[in-house]
Amino acid sequence: MLAFVLLMLLAYAGLLFPTSFQNNNKNIFILAGQSNMSGRGGINNVTWDGVVPPQCQPNPAILRLSSDLNWVEASEPLHKDIDVNVTCGVGPGMVFANTVLDNKNLSFSIGGVVGLVPCAIGGTKISEWARGTYLYNQLVSRASAALQDGGGSIQAVLWYQGESDTVNPDDAALYKGRLERFFMDLRADLQSPLLPIIQVALASGQGPYIEKVREAQLGIDLANVKCVDAKGLQLEPDHLHLTTQAQVQLGEISESIRGGRFKWRKEFCAVQEPEATTDDRRQGRDDCWEGKGKWKLEGMAE
């Protein structure tokens, strides 16, 4: 209902242009990482089933930066013209954006739109995202292009990567340092030293060192970097990629964490820093507490 009212207000104010998506109040979110950010929900072999849940439906107030750097109305699969060597399906981006718009405590004005900048590429290691690499340069270039019309600002980076770093013990051992360096370099090059980053701790991996990489991800201690632990989310039959429903759950939780809020439901607990969760602990939710400033997800799989 809130999304409908929002669109009516946008249309009434003349801020919604069916033929032009230039808007001076875009709230931009960068989507980066590998296949589970790109989206493989609903993929069977090399075919997407085409199922788009209600939480992932298009909304004229949600835009996507296309591969040719034009703003277009966003729809699944978000990475279809970015991660071009594979079949893309449902990822967390659309549900995240719809949840941003549906939230009653919007952190931006009613006239704003959500601008998604897909950058994820499947099968990539963290070393392939280091400063100076093709993927890093493309990410920075696309993020910069998203700001070129002078409208809006980058609100956060959503990062889900690491499955490819679970194969080699050296990659797993070096993961934490490489990830921290990537985050710091990206903030510096985007000229936003405290740019919010939401990273996802692995639900799966391609090799035997999943826990080593997860330990690195959960141990990141940088300002304005928050973590969602995806362990326990339902996987596709390949035991690597999140299902469509799991992506819906991930996107909803990520938005709650971005705003420092908790949408407590009986089926899950969320990850957050302890100072933001003191009241929740007092209310008897210690069963979700892992210590060291982290909350775990429970009962997420359908």
Q: Where are the alpha helices (DSSP H) in the chain?
A: 2-12, 35-38, 93-102, 134-146, 169-189, 210-218, 244-258, 278-282
Look at residue 260 in the predicted model and tell me its pLDDT: 54
**With bands split at pLDDT 50, 70 and 90, how would you rate the model's confidence at 19?**
very low
Of the candidates 107, 149, 238, 239, the residue annotated as catalytic is 238
In the chain, where are the structural domains located?
2-225+241-247
Of the candidates 241, 254, 256, 280, the residue annotated as catalytic is 241
Structural contact between residues 116 and 271, judged by C-beta atoms closer than 8 angstroms = no
* Other residues' Cβ atoms within 10 Å of the Cβ of residue 28: 21
The answer on pLDDT for 257 being more than 80 is no
Look at residue 17 in the predicted model and tell me its pLDDT: 31
Task: Establish whether 238 is a catalytic residue.
Answer: yes
Residues 6+ apart with CB under 8 A from 76: 39, 52, 56, 89, 90, 91, 94
Q: Is the peptide bond preceding residue 77 cis, with omega within 30 degrees of 0?
A: yes
Tokens of 123: 């099968």
> How far, in Å, CA of 241 to CA of 41, rounded?
7
Tokens of 277: 């969760």
Task: Establish whether 79 is a catalytic residue.
Answer: no
Tokens of 169: 């013990």
User: pTM for the complete prediction?
Assistant: 0.79
Q: Which CATH class is domain 2-225+241-247?
A: alpha beta
pLDDT digits (tens, 9 = 90+) for 185-199: 999 999 999 999 999
> How far, in Å, CA of 225 to CA of 163, rounded?
20
Task: Establish whether 164 is a catalytic residue.
Answer: no
The answer on pLDDT for 135 being more than 50 is yes
| CA nearest neighbour of 176 among 221, 224, 140, 124 | 221
The conformation of residue 100, written as its DSSP 8-state character, comes to: H
Q: How far is CA 298 from CA 234, 270, 271, 282, in A?
A: 12, 8, 10, 19
pLDDT digits (tens, 9 = 90+) for 136-187: 999 999 999 999 977 789 999 999 999 999 999 999 999 999 999 999 999 9
Of the candidates 35, 38, 164, 254, the residue annotated as catalytic is 35
Q: Could you tell me which residues are beta bridge partners of residue 265?
A: 268
